[in-house]
Amino acid sequence: MALRSHSLAEYRKKRDFDRTPEPAGSARRRRGGGGKSRFCVQKHLASHLHYDFRLEHRGVLLSWAVPKGPSLRTRDKRLAMMTEDHPLDYIDFEGVIPEGYGAGIVMVWDEGTWQPEDGFEDVDAALKGGELKFTLDGYKLKGSWVLVRTGGRRGTDTPERSWLLIKHRDDWAGEVDITAFAPLSIKTGRDFADILAQGDPDVWESHRPAQGGQTGRLFEQIIRKAVRIRQENQAGRQRQPAGGRKKKTAKKKPGTTRTKAPRRRTTAR
Ligand code: MN
């Protein structure tokens, strides 16, 4: 009778875990204390920029892709496309998906805990009914919100994927454009270029997740910046060898007969 089985079959079917750093979700993690479940929002630059909104529920992460991202303005109704359940381990995932499904860069944009509001404690029933009111306690997103299904046939077994994410009026609502105001990773403070620079910025030499258009231009900028960050890091390492010691003077100490070895590059990780 359940609308969805909360299994990871679809998640796993879409991915080749030899080729993606994303978690396979083999181990189920225990939920955090206090009876509260966790949530996260992952900013994901793939074929298009979007924000993946994920709520922990019965051992998985219920997931919606929000193209414009969450808004603190109560008049904004943000389209949220329901996607496949994700494993709980995914909640911390930040990195580069080099190829395949979702290829691009993932950033943990917000995280915290969530609770269904009064009358919505039966989350499965709420999902089936197409309306879930809940409270978020994150760093960027707080207070009362609703996810409401749109356009779908209610009470059928056909899950309609189109929902709206709306902020309720409370102390945490406001006019600030939160995605522009707080664009960085809540986990590491990094932007997309920093995350990409940690890996291999040449990863999309031949097949970039998006060519041309706004997303293609965004990718070009980020890749250029990541290459620059990498070069600067390498230059910094060469100027200051491991150990942070000052370069020894060229003057030879009397009695030392060391043959000069090629300078080794330290790979700080
Ligand atoms: Mn995504």
What are the DSSP calls for 157-184, one per residue?
Answer: SS---EEEEEEPSSTT--SS-HHHHS-S
Would you say residue 269 has pLDDT above 70? no
Q: How far is the CA of 260 from the centre of ligand 1 (A)?
A: 51
The total number of residues written for the chain in this structure:
269
Q: What is the mean pLDDT of residues 116-141?
A: 97
Q: What's the mean pLDDT when you consider all of the chain?
A: 86
Q: How far is the CA of 116 from the centre of ligand 1 (A)?
A: 23
- Assign 170 a pLDDT band (cuts: 50, 70, 90): very high
- pLDDT at residue number 30: 53
Type of residue found at 19: R
Q: How far is the CA of 253 from the centre of ligand 1 (A)?
A: 60
Taking the CB of residue 70, how many other CB atoms lie within 10 A of it? 23
Angle at 100 between CA 201 and CA 200, to 5 degrees: 15
Q: How far is the CA of 236 from the centre of ligand 1 (A)?
A: 34
Taking the CB of residue 160, how many other CB atoms lie within 10 A of it? 14
* Helices and strands in the chain, H and E counts: 5, 9
- Assign 36 a pLDDT band (cuts: 50, 70, 90): confident
The whole-angstrom separation of Cα 6 and Cα 197 is 35
The distance from CA 169 to its chain's CA centroid, rounded to whole angstroms, is: 27
Q: What is the mean pLDDT of residues 210-237?
A: 92
- pLDDT at residue number 251: 47
The whole-angstrom separation of Cα 230 and Cα 227 is 5
- pLDDT at residue number 257: 46
Task: List Cα–Cα distances, 136 to 113, 168, 180, in angstroms.
Answer: 6, 11, 20
Of 8-17, 140-149, 258-267, the range with the highest mean pLDDT is 140-149
- pLDDT at residue number 205: 85
- Assign 159 a pLDDT band (cuts: 50, 70, 90): low
Would you say residue 264 has pLDDT above 60? no
Q: How far is the CA of 139 from the centre of ligand 1 (A)?
A: 20
Paired with 142 in beta bridges are 137
Q: What is the mean pLDDT of residues 135-150?
A: 97
CB contact at 8 A, 52 and 66 = yes
- Assign 156 a pLDDT band (cuts: 50, 70, 90): low
- pLDDT at residue number 237: 81
Would you say residue 61 has pLDDT above 70? yes
Q: How far is the CA of 66 from the centre of ligand 1 (A)?
A: 9
Would you say residue 25 has pLDDT above 90? no
Q: How far is the CA of 52 from the centre of ligand 1 (A)?
A: 5
Q: How far is the CA of 233 from the centre of ligand 1 (A)?
A: 29
